Amino acid sequence: MIRFDWNFYRQQITNSLPLQVAIAGLLITATMAIYIYASGREKEQLQFQNEVEHVQRAVTETMDVYLALLRATRGYIYTHEDITYESFSDFVAELQLRQVYPGVQGIGYIEVVDPLRKQQLEQTLHSQGWSDFSIHPLQNERAYYPILYLEPPDQLNQTALGFDMYSQEVRRAAMELARDSGEAVLSGKTTLLQQPDSAMQTGFLFVLPIYAGNDTPDTVEERRQRIRGYVYLPFRPEDFFSEVYKKNGSPRVNIIVYDGETEDAGALLYTSSENGTHKSRFRARGVIYNASRPWTVVYQSTAVSEAVNDTLPDRRLLPFLIALGLATTTLLFFISRTLVLARLKAERIQLELMQSQIALQSGEELTRMVMDSLPALIAVLDGKGTIVSTNSSWSNFMATFYGSETTHPFSVGDNIKVRLKTNTSLMGETFSARGREGLEKLLRGQLQQFVLEYPVTVKNGEEKWFLLVASALKHEGGGVVVSSTDITKLKRADQQKEEFLSIASHELKTPITSARAYVQVLQKILLQHKNKKVAPVLSKVLNQIEKMQLLISDLLDVSKIEAGKLRLNKQVFVLAELVSEVAEAMQLASETHTVRLRNESTAQVNADRERIGQVITNLIDNAIKYSPEADVVEVVCIDDGTHVQMSVTDFGLGIPKKDQKYLFKRFYRVRQMSQGGVYPGLGLGLYICNEIMQRSGGTLLVQSKSEVGSTFTFRLPILKET
């Protein structure tokens, strides 16, 4: 089954929101723009169509006016039996033709003339004043159709008089059609007689038949028999359409008019204006039938009218609207984009937060695992000393020795300060005395770290030793991490080592004592027997035994120091006297060096005379031992009122700076540079000296320079005499 992952799609939708907003905005903008444009266009189209209809109507109306003019003229002829040039001229003058019908060139009267009557007619007209009147051209034998009258009587019209209208095909066709139909007929395009040489010679004739009997016969046959003449209007398309335009008011459309039903360039009648290269926005085509004659009219919107439309308010607003739409869309796009980005960022931050929380949790888990895997007893206290966390070693130990698994005095939630105050016996004397104080100092922030070794007697009576390391937490609110390591085994091993050393040195001393005693007995016996050969040998044996004895003595001292069992038997004595004693003894023992003594003090000290003597011995002995090339050591004893000091200076190898700090450590021995080896000895002498000095309230210092020599100085406080 495919599961619909709504979150995924929601994410997709959210991410593409700005794009969607942009697309929607663009669509709305485009729709509105198109709507406004289209409605504007529609309005324009309507306007155009309106114009077209106006023009069409104007054409028809103008034509109707012309027709009415023809009918009026025919009516005049029907009602006046003997028309003369005079009366016709008066009638036309009454019409005010040029003023009222400016497109019309004139009104003409054509009479059907039997060839037999030609002479008579010409004479009649001659008598009426038209002396040069003659029917021309004489092509037709059956009848002539000359123009008898043509008004108004200007020069141009007069030249047409007498012209046989049948002699020209286009006119004849119109006239025959008019005769047969009894209606007015518009001729095809023809050349007007009035302007034979002019560029404006193109024109039309509007022809209406006149029948004998003064009415229109019912049948074609009768009409042919009774045809008597015609009245006609010659006019030029220029004049005609100017008239139409005048009626129409403003030229909002161009018109191109063709004679006939097609747009044939040869049949072009009229072009209202030169539209030039302008490509019209609207175009229409219509055929107008005027008195049975089709005219094809092409209508075009003019550049001017289009421009006028373009300045209409809604059309003008379009670019602003588009700009506004685009701006709004852009704005919305960026706003939604900002929102989506902000949201994505928020989601990312939330994710990171979750991840860091997970990391934090796993960090806590790791800490917990590390804590639980340690053999040390670990507890974390808050700033008030309340246990907030313990490791399993802690809780196991406490449960085993101080209670049950569920209740013991050092569980989480217990305050360690309260517990230690009320249960002083729990943690042993050492801890009660020093540990509590240290912890409180840590909690108060007076101490950064506190280290203590302490013994505890646990439930079953067993003594256990612990190394406590308590460290103050640095974060706000404080707190302490307490780590207690069981060092019982270490302590036991240490005790065993000390016991061993003590027993071993005791046991070693015993045979040495007896050996020495035996040798001395032997010496005495040999002396009594005056044996001079063996005695020196024995004294060498004795010497070696003494060295061994010293070594053992040092070992014993160290074991005492380690066990804290070095006891000083203090007594009051003058240090300088002891110095003299020892110096003299050393002088006796040394065959190589002179011990140069300078004693300038009489100060008394309260110390263990024997131990201080041991120190002096050691220092002088070292000075001799480590200056094999020299032959003197200097011993000086002085005081400054508060302290008395004794120094031993040798002129030997000196001790390198880097080695000086190790001088007072156990088992340290100075390397003999030249031979790469070390001086004999266990490396305990100075360590013991320093320990004795510290326990006597004094100090031991060294000053040394390589290849120059060393000075060891100890200072002891002077005992003030009261």
Partner 1 sequence: MKRSNLVLVIDDDPAIVDAVRMLLELDGFATEGYSGSDVLGVITRLRPDLILLDVWLSGTDGRAVCQTVKRHATLNDIPIILISAGKDLSESAKNAGADDFIEKPFDMDTLLEKVHRLLSV
Residue numbers at the binding site for partner 1 (CB under 8 A): 505-506, 509-514, 516-518, 520-521, 524-525, 528, 545, 549, 553, 556-557, 567, 569, 610
As measured in angstroms, the least distance from the Cβ of 611 to partner 1 is 8
Instruction: Name which of 334 and 518 has its Cβ closer to partner 1.
Output: 518
Are the CB atoms for 303 and 279 separated by under 8 Å?
no
d(CA 321, CA 34): 11
Here the tokens at position 145 are 């159709």
Taking residue 478's Cβ as centre, other Cβ atoms within 10 Å add up to: 17
Angle in degrees, 0-180, between the axes of helices 237-248 and 6-79, rounded to the nearest 10 = 120
Handedness of CA 528, 529, 533, 535 (dihedral sign): negative
As measured in angstroms, the least distance from the Cβ of 615 to partner 1 is 13
Instruction: Name which of 159 and 553 has its Cβ closer to partner 1.
Output: 553
Instruction: Name which of 411 and 505 has its Cβ closer to partner 1.
Output: 505
Are the CB atoms for 256 and 272 separated by under 8 Å?
yes
d(CA 411, CA 418): 13
Instruction: Name which of 278 and 570 has its Cβ closer to partner 1.
Output: 570
As measured in angstroms, the least distance from the Cβ of 590 to partner 1 is 19
Handedness of CA 186, 191, 193, 198 (dihedral sign): positive
As measured in angstroms, the least distance from the Cβ of 561 to partner 1 is 12
As measured in angstroms, the least distance from the Cβ of 587 to partner 1 is 18
As measured in angstroms, the least distance from the Cβ of 544 to partner 1 is 12
> Considering just the CA atoms, what is the radius of gyration of the chain in Å?
74
d(CA 165, CA 144): 8
Q: Which residues contact 3 (CB under 8 A, 6 or more apart)?
A: none
Instruction: Name which of 434 and 516 has its Cβ closer to partner 1.
Output: 516
Are the CB atoms for 288 and 56 separated by under 8 Å?
yes
Instruction: Name which of 3 and 540 has its Cβ closer to partner 1.
Output: 540
As measured in angstroms, the least distance from the Cβ of 557 to partner 1 is 8
Are the CB atoms for 616 and 684 separated by under 8 Å?
no
As measured in angstroms, the least distance from the Cβ of 507 to partner 1 is 9
Pairing relation of β-strands 677-678 and 671-672?
Answer: antiparallel
- DSSP β-bridge partners for residue 8: none
Here the tokens at position 568 are 């000083």
d(CA 190, CA 611): 164
Which helix (H) or strand (E) segment holds residue 176: the answer is helix 169-181
Helices (H), 80-135: 85-95, 97-100, 118-127
As measured in angstroms, the least distance from the Cβ of 454 to partner 1 is 27
d(CA 67, CA 173): 19
For residue 352, the one-letter residue type is E
As measured in angstroms, the least distance from the Cβ of 517 to partner 1 is 3
As measured in angstroms, the least distance from the Cβ of 521 to partner 1 is 5
As measured in angstroms, the least distance from the Cβ of 420 to partner 1 is 37
d(CA 181, CA 140): 23
How does 322-355 read in b/e, with b if 16+ C-beta sit within 10 Å? beebeeebeeebeebeeebeeeeeeeeeeeeeee
Here the tokens at position 370 are 């590390």
Are the CB atoms for 668 and 682 separated by under 8 Å?
no
406 exposure class (CB count in 10 Å sphere: 0-12, 13-18, 19+): exposed
Instruction: Name which of 424 and 553 has its Cβ closer to partner 1.
Output: 553
Instruction: Name which of 541 and 556 has its Cβ closer to partner 1.
Output: 556
Instruction: Name which of 569 and 675 has its Cβ closer to partner 1.
Output: 569
Instruction: Name which of 84 and 606 has its Cβ closer to partner 1.
Output: 606
692 exposure class (CB count in 10 Å sphere: 0-12, 13-18, 19+): buried
Q: Which residue is listed with tokens 């010409």?
A: 122
As measured in angstroms, the least distance from the Cβ of 475 to partner 1 is 52
Instruction: Name which of 302 and 505 has its Cβ closer to partner 1.
Output: 505
Instruction: Name which of 285 and 529 has its Cβ closer to partner 1.
Output: 529
Instruction: Name which of 34 and 521 has its Cβ closer to partner 1.
Output: 521
Task: Kindly report the backbone phi and psi dihedral angles of residue 691, in degrees, each rounded to the nearest multiple of 5, phi listed first.
Answer: -65, -45
Here the tokens at position 407 are 């209740």
As measured in angstroms, the least distance from the Cβ of 489 to partner 1 is 29
Instruction: Name which of 309 and 505 has its Cβ closer to partner 1.
Output: 505
As measured in angstroms, the least distance from the Cβ of 546 to partner 1 is 8
How far, CA to CA in Å, does 577 sit from each of 610, 613, 717? 13, 10, 16
As measured in angstroms, the least distance from the Cβ of 451 to partner 1 is 31
Instruction: Name which of 399 and 538 has its Cβ closer to partner 1.
Output: 538
d(CA 281, CA 239): 28
Any idea of the CA torsion for 635, 640, 645, 648, to the nearest 10 degrees?
Answer: -30
Here the tokens at position 350 are 């939330």
Instruction: Name which of 593 and 609 has its Cβ closer to partner 1.
Output: 609
Residue 162 region by backbone torsions, left for phi larger than 0, else alpha for psi between -120 and 50, else beta: left
Q: Which residues contact 507 (CB under 8 A, 6 or more apart)?
A: none
Are the CB atoms for 481 and 367 separated by under 8 Å?
no
